[in-house]
Amino acid sequence: MRRLVVFNMVSLDGYFVDAHGDMTWAHANPADAEWNTFVSGNAQGGGVLLFGRKTYEMMASFWPTPAALQANPVVAERMNALPKVVFSRTLDKATWRNTTLVRDDPASAVRRMKGEPGDDMVILGSGSIVSRLTGQSLIDEYQIVVIPVILGRGRTMFDGVEKQTRVKLIDTRRFGNGNVLLRYQPLS
């Protein structure tokens, strides 16, 4: 059975986007060789990337560009090459290479995809998708990077979750730039 992992960055006060829906604060930390190696290594993994419309549009506007290839060639190559799924009822088409547009309910689609053969799936950003799938107990692991910044206001990736979901910490990793990776699995 395919696994579904969430990989997101959050502020110290728990927001994955600021009050204006912006995520650039997550990439403003000073350069750190260990963090850069981790990001490049993480991009080398296989899998299917899952996005909601907003995150898809943001990613599709950056990763296929020459600026992305210059800024981080390893990550850009993988982001463009990996298969991608965007959940949206409003997009007319998905033009980023290797992207499938899914108009079905995300929970139903993910339930079906988890039962199919293939690589694991990773959600990047996409708070509304994360909250829906958390509420349906479809996420197998949460990989949360805490960025050392306090935003004061914003939106959590769990807005709208109605039932309590208990998780257990399975790993931590601290980086020189102050970022901390926390890995959690839901308790049964």
Q: How far from 38 is each of 32, 45, 49, 105, 107, CA to CA, in Å?
A: 10, 11, 18, 33, 30
Strand 180-186, strand 99-102: pairing: unpaired
Inter-axis angle of helices 106-114 and 127-135, to 10 degrees?
Answer: 70
Q: What is the pLDDT of residues 114-163, one digit of tens each?
A: 999 999 999 988 889 999 999 999 999 999 999 999 999 999 999 999 88
Phi-psi label, residue 37: left if phi above 0, alpha if psi -120 to 50, beta otherwise: alpha
Percent of the chain with pLDDT over 90: 76
> The tokens of 91 are what?
């997009």
- In this prediction the pTM is 0.92
CATH 3.40.430.10 fits 1-9+47-144, yes or no: yes
Strand 141-147, strand 4-11: pairing: parallel
168 bridge partner residues: 185
Distance CA 181, CA 174 (A): 6
Residue extents of the structural domains in the chain? 1-9+47-144
Q: What is the pLDDT of residues 88-122, one digit of tens each?
A: 999 999 999 999 999 989 999 999 999 999 999 99
Inter-axis angle of helices 33-44 and 73-81, to 10 degrees?
Answer: 20
